Amino acid sequence: MGLKKAIVTGGTRGIGKAIVRELATKKIGDDFFADVAFIYNSCDSCADELVAELTALGANVKAYKTDVASFGDVQETVKNIIADFGSVDILVNNAGITKDNLLMRMSEEDFDSVIRVNLKSVFNFTKAVSRQMLKQRGGKIVNISSVVGIIGNPGQANYSSSKAGIIGFTKSIAKEFASRGINVNAVAPGYIKTEMTESLNDNQQNALLEFIPMKRMGTPEDVAKTVLFLSGDDASYITGQVITVDGGMVM
Ligand code: NDP
């Protein structure tokens, strides 16, 4: 059994998968750090594989298929998770998509869908866990933003707006929930090796490395370890912050 109960959105791939692994298998004495409910959208086999991998290690992990952009579905899913797990102590809003294009070529649909999946989902899940966390007077919420939500990026007006929105949301809810012992923080990764960044060619990757003082792309584990810290008791006096995990790209 895990000491805490956690929800991680977008747990089947990339950064989310690393976060699920980190929270579910980290040992605190004889116990695992957390039992983890993770959310995914389409890849059933990815979800089954991850559950099997972590269950074999003795961890308690369960997958829930839900579109994070749907308010009603999210309320229902979180209700089911709380019924299955007994409570929720940690929420990691990680699910995200990109639909990049220069503004002149960006459709209304591409703008709206990125905002709904990346930003409205954070509202949907925070709202869904808030009653439980406020009642128990404790909890940790970690929202995955991005460095482009801080510095912008051509071709990503939709994505960078969603990620900047997450930062505003994080700070507002941190202020609303601080007196109830709930910490709300954001992590802003730089360029991390996942399927999301796989489409960059060698030239694009080399150009990006120019701007990274540490001269390497990050790994999903680099982000997951920061999320683990912010989800734990050692981070109890940290709230409303944006922690960049980017090899020094933005400082
Ligand atoms: P991936 O594309 O590798 O994985 C995305 C995850 O989100 C998958 O598990 C996917 O599930 C899930 N997901 C997508 N849409 C939905 C939806 N509508 N409902 C439920 N689940 C959904 O992304 P990364 O791991 O690269 O990124 C994770 C987060 O980190 C994102 O928020 C991203 O913006 C952010 N980030 C990533 C960076 C990078 O360099 N990779 C840099 C900065 C921030 P399924 O497989 O079932 O579709």
What is the assigned CATH class of domain 4-190+221-245?
A: alpha beta
Q: List pocket residues of ligand 1, CB cut-off 6 Å.
A: 9-16, 39-43, 46, 67-69, 94-97, 117, 144, 146, 189, 191-192, 194-197
Model pTM above 0.85: yes
* Residue 247: partners with Cβ closer than 8 Å, 6 or more residues away: 190, 212, 213, 214, 215, 216, 217, 218
What are the phi and psi torsion angles at 199 (to 5°)? -70, -10
Per-residue pLDDT tens over the stretch 9-66: 999 999 999 999 999 999 999 999 999 999 999 999 999 999 999 999 999 999 999 9
pLDDT at 205: 86
pLDDT at 171: 99
Measured distance CA(214)–CA(227) in Å, rounded: 21
Measured distance CA(184)–CA(171) in Å, rounded: 7
Confidence of residue 200 (pLDDT cuts 50, 70, 90): confident
* Mean pLDDT for the chain overall: 97
Count the helices and strands in the chain (H runs, E runs). 10, 8
Domain boundaries in the chain?
Answer: 4-190+221-245
Tokens of 232: 């734990």
C-alpha to C-alpha distances, 129 to 18, 41, 79, 133, 134, nearest whole angstrom: 22, 19, 9, 6, 9
In this predicted structure, the answer to whether residue 73 has a pLDDT above a threshold of 90 is yes
Share of the chain above pLDDT 90, in %: 93
Residue 63 host element (H or E): strand 61-65
Tokens of 32: 């695992």
Residue positions annotated with a catalytic role: 159
How far is CA 190 from its chain centroid? 14
